[in-house]
Structure 1
């Protein structure tokens, strides 16, 4: 995964409306945050990637930063399988919650996280987190914070 930063940068560019990051940022996501990221390949092409991190103030939570699925990987449940792969990792067994932010009009993301919540048999709560005028200077729609959990750990 450490070597996937450049490919991740290209994937995000092909998945509007995702916000692009610098290649350096993507390299860090693929190296320093590899435990909370997952990549999916099809025929040696990167077709899916989820980046995330554990917020320092919430060590029981994984924050999903970005979900990218190329059109070659869409319609196959890939994004949900990648989310499940993250919470199933042994090194993340202490995680009880998942958070992410999405805009109110991002129907695909709402559907993904609602479906993931149902599959995990848990709850989803949400509240406005970053507002268009206060945090984005009117240049980006407000981001709503979703919190999913708690996750039930297998015995």
Structure 2
């Protein structure tokens, strides 16, 4: 990549990154990207293949010069079609610092599968400052309320082996 598309830090501008619906051929690359983005919990490659096929209309792949540098998996809740659940947000080191995660969320919300969506949900552990900043900022940009409560408890659901996951709900909003 030439320097003309880079920020002063050497990272690309968000405009240099192409956003598109993921395809099954992205599955292994998603698996590798998530593994390179701690503290994200890796899923099986098969799960990533399903994310890139069954949930492609509510997910996004971000590429820079043909390489996968970002991915968000999401899906509309079957019982509440007005709600999209953001499952996982991964931004590779080469694409950090240019607002890519926010741009990817906006991409998902602009897709036809989300035309009736007015709420966004996700889960975040209490110590994941980057995710809290992302979703607090998204709520502000959507001019929407943000609320949180325990969704999966450390002891009840994870037998003490994983921090509690807080359910974060943003909305209502219109895109």
Write out aligned runs for 1:119-134 (5 A): 119-134=141-156
Shift of residue 75, structure 1, vs aligned partner: 0.5
Instruction: Show the counterpart of 1:74.
Output: 96
Which consecutive unaligned segments of at least 5 residues does structure 2 have?
A: 1-21
Aligned residue pair count: 153
Give the 3-state SS of the residue equivalent to 1:11 in structure 2: helix
Listed one character per residue, the Cα deviations across residues 25-53 of structure 1 (whole Å, up to 9, x for unaligned) are 00000001001100101121111000011
Runs of 4+ aligned structure 1 residues displaced above 4 Å come to none
Retained in 1: the 8 A contact 2:58–2:113? no
For normalisation by structure 1, the TM-score amounts to 0.96
In structure 2, how many angstroms separate the alpha carbons of the residues matched to 1:98 and 1:17? Answer: 22
Q: Greater share of helix residues, 1 or 2?
A: 1
> Where do 5+ consecutive residues of structure 1 fail to align?
none
User: Is 1:19–2:41 an aligned residue pair?
Assistant: yes
Alignment of 1:93-108 (within 5 A): 93-108=115-130
RMSD of aligned C-alpha atoms?
A: 0.8
Q: Distance in 2 between matches of 1:116 and 1:138?
A: 30
Distance in 2 between residues matched to 1:37 and 1:91, nearest whole Å? 10
- Which entry has the higher C-alpha Rg, 1 or 2? 2
How big is the shift at 1:91?
Answer: 2.9
1:34-53 to 2 correspondences below 5 Å: 34-53=56-75
Distance 1:50 1:87 in 2: 12
Instruction: Check if 1:62 corresponds to 2:88.
Output: no
Q: CA deviation at 1:16?
A: 0.6
Output the TM-score relative to the length of structure 2. 0.85
